[in-house]
Amino acid sequence: MTSRTSTGLGVDATGGPVIDPSKNVLDLVRAEAHRQNDLRAAAEQLANERQGFIRREMEIRQANNQREMEIREDFRKRIAELRAEHQEKDLTSEARRTDALRELDRVEVRTANDRHQAAVDTLAKTTAAMAETLRTSDENTAKNLAAQAEVIRHELDSRITAVERVQAAGAGRGEGSKSNLALISSILAIILMLITLGTFVFVTMRAPAPAAVPSSTTTAPR
């Protein structure tokens, strides 16, 4: 049991000095305060770490979003370039196809013109040959008719001379007159027939040859 005198330090039962517990309490309080400070610092550090993590995560998300936007923009640009190239190729192919069709039309038009011109030339040559043949035939016919007319004229002259002689002799007047009239009528009919035929031949020879059909010019499509 500890006793304390008013004039000195207190001693315990063994006579040793009594230890004041205030220092231990203060050490414990200081240790507790230091621990609380460490906990607050750790909590503050944890909060800062959390905020930093959230900030870094937001920055990473923003960077990813920015990268994604850039990738999408590059993709749209590439798609636009591919579409433009495809459209240009389509326009080039269409222009080549149109040019090929126009060239085909030009070839067909030239072929048709050549065929038409060949037909016109053939018709002109055939017409000229037919005209020449007809002219030669008409000339030969005219010559034959002229020769026949000359023969008939000589025969008519001889007949008329014979009739004149008979009439001058005064013999067989009645029978001779009938024979002469029949002969004259036959000769006049023959002369009339020759005149008609000669007129027909003359008109045929004077008739113009059929004109050649002009070549139609067809403008090729441009």
- Rounded CA gap, 11 and 18, in Å? 5
Q: Which amino acid is at 215?
A: S
- Rounded CA gap, 12 and 18, in Å? 6
User: Which runs of consecutive H residues, i.e. helices, occur in the chain?
Assistant: 22-169, 173-206
State the residue for tokens 């030339």.
Answer: 121
Report whether pLDDT(89) > 80.
yes
**177: pLDDT confidence band, cut at 50, 70 and 90?**
low
Q: Which amino acid is at 56?
A: R
pLDDT tens by residue, 14-70: 766 666 667 777 778 888 888 888 888 889 999 999 998 999 999 999 999 999 999
Q: Which value, in Å, is the radius of gyration of the alpha carbons in the chain?
A: 72
Please say whether the dihedral angle defined by the alpha carbons of residues 59, 65, 66 and 71, taken in this order, is positive or negative: positive
Query: Collapsing DSSP states into helix, strand and coil, what is residue 37?
Result: helix
CB 218 within 8 A of CB 114: no
Q: What is the pTM of this model?
A: 0.35
pLDDT tens by residue, 56-80: 999 999 999 999 999 999 999 999 9
CB 134 within 8 A of CB 204: yes
- Rounded CA gap, 17 and 11, in Å? 4
Q: Which residue has the higher pLDDT, 217 or 70?
A: 70
Query: Collapsing DSSP states into helix, strand and coil, what is residue 17?
Result: strand
- Rounded CA gap, 167 and 165, in Å? 5
Report whether pLDDT(202) > 90.
no
Query: Collapsing DSSP states into helix, strand and coil, what is residue 3?
Result: strand
CB 220 within 8 A of CB 108: no
Concatenated DSSP letters of 38-55: HHHHHHHHHHHHHHHHHH
